[in-house]
Amino acid sequence: MSDALAPAVPSGTTRPPDAGRPPPSTPPQPPSEPVTSAQRVLPLRRPGRWILSAVALVLVAQLVHGLATNPFYQWDRFQYWFARPVIVNGLVVTLEVTAYSAVLGLAGGIALALARLSRSPVLRAISWVYVWLFRSIPLIVVLLFLYNFSALYRTLSLGVPFGPAFWHFDEAHLATDLVIAVVGLSLNEAAYAAEVVRAGILSVDQGQHEAAAALGLPRRYQFARIVFPQALRAIVPAYVNQLIGLVKGTSLVFYVSLLDLFGSVQSMGSTYPGDIVPLLLVATVWYVILTSVVSVVQFYVERHYARGALRALPPTPVRRLRVAVATLAARVRRETAA
Amino acid sequence: MSIPRSDVHSPEPATAEEGAAAPIAVEVRDVHKWYGAHRVLDGVDLTVRAGEVTVVIGPSGSGKSTLLRVINHLEQPQLGHVSLDGELVGVRWQRGRLRELSEHQILAQRRRIGFVFQDFNLFPHLTVLDNVAAAPVATGLLRKPEAQRLAHTLLGRVGLGEKADAYPRQLSGGQQQRVAIARALALRPGVILFDEPTSALDPELVGEVLAVIKDLAAEGTTLIVVTHEIAFAREVADRVVFMDGGRILEHGTPGEVLDHPQHPRTRAFLSRVL
């Protein structure tokens, strides 16, 4: 085997034809033995790794086989339910709630983080108390509170604080189930996003603030164009974590009678008790798909904000796959040729 | 002094010995700065005339960098004041007392004072061209195409015309510092402050940065340079200032301060670094 991988010695050199093979019984050659200039170094053989890999693959195959063949999972029912309108409607609700809450939560988080980092002690305190409060209350409690809100406050008014009101909202019209869900999730999300954004801003080197200030850049420009884009490098991975939590956190809106993906599965499950397992599988697979899409988007967003931070951007997965295939093909060609 | 700066810039000679000809660009009056009990600046007076090159030397912790940061109001002094072209920096008189300016006004004043940092502080997420062109656009001085043209010109002047599209981290330290100088020049400041511009560089890269600063000096730009490069001070400075313990202990021409130091601490410092 190792002989097959030994480099071909170009003919016409002064070396004997069998120079690639170690001499049978002579004492070890000192480095005075000439070596052709471009010797390829052969990788160390690791048989143990191959054996372990084989064992792991067998175990994985067994698991997949069990998943596919065990009648407990009822894959035919899974197929029946997977793209039913009731499930897809639930999926759309999940996507809607997630999208609104992610945007509002991030906006609120940025505002809270800026307040926390501001020079005003009042703003700092308000931001701190908000984060402390909403990280303390379970999301489900926030949602149920809001759900019962219209009982506490009949109307919402817009006007001078403690003074005349210009605008009255009737809570019953305003507070649809979707609005309650989005408000609840956003309030909760903003508290966590605030800390993520604050960590990102703190991770930007002090010299960047100073350089921006020394150039006399307007305050808003300093934040929007200099500090925040660099902070995003630290913010994106943490916020995506947060976002994935949110995707699954939306399953709680079922308790404020909004039929999201999980809610639809749950209600179908109580109507068709025999299909509970395939229905849960349907929900699982859809959540896995959503999380995967978010992860792919994360990769490209991170790559975008890595500009300038790395000397060369990491290759995309597609590019990496192409390189891996090309390398493997080259190796096979080398080995078969030898 | 070998550089005929006054011939280029000002109709009258403005060397330190002849004094009062050129207008005063930067004036520092009795500035005190302390952090808790630690006195960083202890009554500093300094006058820099337009077109002059002032080199500040002194041991670490002597207050050199803080002095520069007070001049462009990155640090606010507790006592004393700084003026630029006769106008107070960062403060104004209000009923006989000094009152801090709004941040907006302070930012506007800083645009007239270039600042080059020891560790460059280029914006790593922007290309070299955008690093230089950002400030004139953001401050409304130029439109984007004009600013980019200016940036190309300035990069050419510091010998980096080819690197406009690179990101700062793809450049060597000396190249980054030259970009930082071009960035400071883009706002056409009346005075440029250099805070140990070569201290973070490998020895073989120091020369290229000093050469750019020498060019600026030869063009008659007002410069205040904090540095440990004594040879550079001897060659380029109109005035050399020696600081220790937050005070200016000695100032004068390079010949006076570097070759015939009067103060024992100046002598001790020079014997260590020369």
Asked whether residue B46 is domain-assigned, the answer is yes
- Residue B213 pLDDT > 90: yes
- In 3D, which of B259, B243, B236, B258 has the Cα closest to residue B46? B243
Q: Does residue B134 sit within a domain? A: no
Quick check: B117 and A305 CB within 8 A? no
Q: For residues B139 and B104, what is the distance between their CA atoms, to the nearest angstrom?
A: 11
Q: Which helix or strand (DSSP H or E) is residue B165 part of?
A: none
Mean pLDDT of B106-123: 96
Please report which helix (H) or strand (E) contains residue B187, including its range. Answer: none
Please, what is the Cα angle at B53 between B49 and B56, to 5 degrees? 105
d(CA A77, CA A94): 22
Q: How many other CB atoms are found less than 10 A from the CB of residue A30?
A: 6
Q: What is the distance between the alpha carbons of residues B214 and B55, in angstroms, rounded to a whole number?
A: 12
A63 found inside a domain: no
Answer yes or no: is pLDDT of B225 > 60: yes
Give the minimum alpha-carbon distance from A209 to chain B in angstroms, rounded to a whole number.
9
> Domain for residue B117, yes or no?
no
Asked if B125 reaches chain A (Cβ–Cβ under 8 Å), the answer is: yes
Contacts B179 to A, Cβ<8 Å: none
B135 contacts on A by Cβ (under 8 Å): 215-217
Residue of B nearest to A216 (CA): B107
Segment-wise mean pLDDT, segments of 10 residues, chain A, 338 residues: 45 47 54 66 89 96 91 89 92 94 95 95 97 95 84 61 64 71 94 96 95 95 94 93 92 88 92 92 94 93 83 79 90 83
Measured at the CA of A305, the angle between CA A301 and CA A308, to 5 degrees, comes to 150
Q: Is the pLDDT of residue B129 over 50?
A: yes
Looking up residue A161, the CATH number of its domain turns out to be 1.10.3720.10
pLDDT in tens, B49-90: 999 999 999 999 999 999 999 999 999 999 999 999 999 999
Q: CA of B132: which chain A residue's CA is closest?
A: A215
Chain B, 181 to 240: residues with Cβ < 8 Å from chain A are 183-184, 187
* Helix axis angle, B144-157 to B128-138, nearest 10°: 130
In a domain, residue B235? The reply is yes
Render pLDDT for A93-112 as a digit per residue (tens, 0 to 9): 999 999 999 999 999 999 99
Within 8 A of B139 by CB-CB distance, chain A residues are 216-218
> What is the pTM (predicted TM-score) of this model?
0.78
Instruction: Inspect the interface and report whether the beta carbons of A308 and B121 lie closer than 8 Å.
Output: no
Q: What whole-number distance in Å separates Cα of residue B86 and Cα of residue B191?
A: 13
Whether the CB-CB separation of B183 and B131 falls below 8 Å is answered with yes
Distance CA A190, CA A136 (A): 13
| Assigned domain for B257 exists | yes
Residue B16 has pLDDT above 70, yes or no: no
Q: Where are the alpha helices (DSSP H) in A169-316?
A: 171-174, 177-202, 206-214, 219-221, 228-249, 261-271, 276-305
Do the domain assignments include residue A55?
A: no
Domain encompassing residue A105 = 71-337
CB of B169 within 8 Å of a chain A CB? The answer is yes
**How far off is chain A from B137, nearest CA to CA, in Å?**
9
Listed in order, strand segments (DSSP E) in B36-190 are: 38-49, 53-57, 79-84, 87-88, 91-94, 97-100, 113-116
Q: Is residue B203 part of a domain?
A: no
Give the pLDDT score at A319. 86
- Measured distance CA(B56)–CA(B243) in Å, rounded: 7
Answer yes or no: are the C-beta atoms of B22 and B12 closer than 8 Å.
yes
Short-list B26, B34, B41, B29, CA closest to B244: B41
Q: What is the pLDDT of residue A174?
A: 59
Structural domain harbouring B79: 23-112+222-273
Number of domains chain B is built from: 1
Give how far Cα B259 sits from Cα of B18, B29, B55, Å.
Answer: 20, 27, 15
Residue A164: both structure tokens together: 């005349």
Q: Are A2 and A42 in contact (CB under 8 A)?
A: yes
Please provide the distance, in angstroms rounded to a whole number, between the alpha carbons at the two ends of chain B.
20
Average pLDDT over residues B200-225: 94
Beta-bridged to residue B83, according to DSSP, are B27, B88
Task: Report the pLDDT value the prediction gives residue B62, as an integer from 0 to 100.
Answer: 93
Contacts of A206 in chain B (CB under 8 A): none
Q: Is residue B137 part of a domain?
A: no
Measured CA distances, A144 to A108, A149, A159 (Å): 21, 8, 27
Q: How far is B165 from chain A (nearest CA, A)?
A: 11
**Confidence band, pLDDT 50/70/90 cuts, at residue B4:** very low
Of A213, A217, A230, the CB nearest to B74: A213
Alpha-carbon distance values, B90 to B44, B102, B109 (Å): 17, 8, 8
Indicate the number of domains in chain A. Answer: 1
Does B168 contact A308 at a Cβ distance shorter than 8 Å?
yes
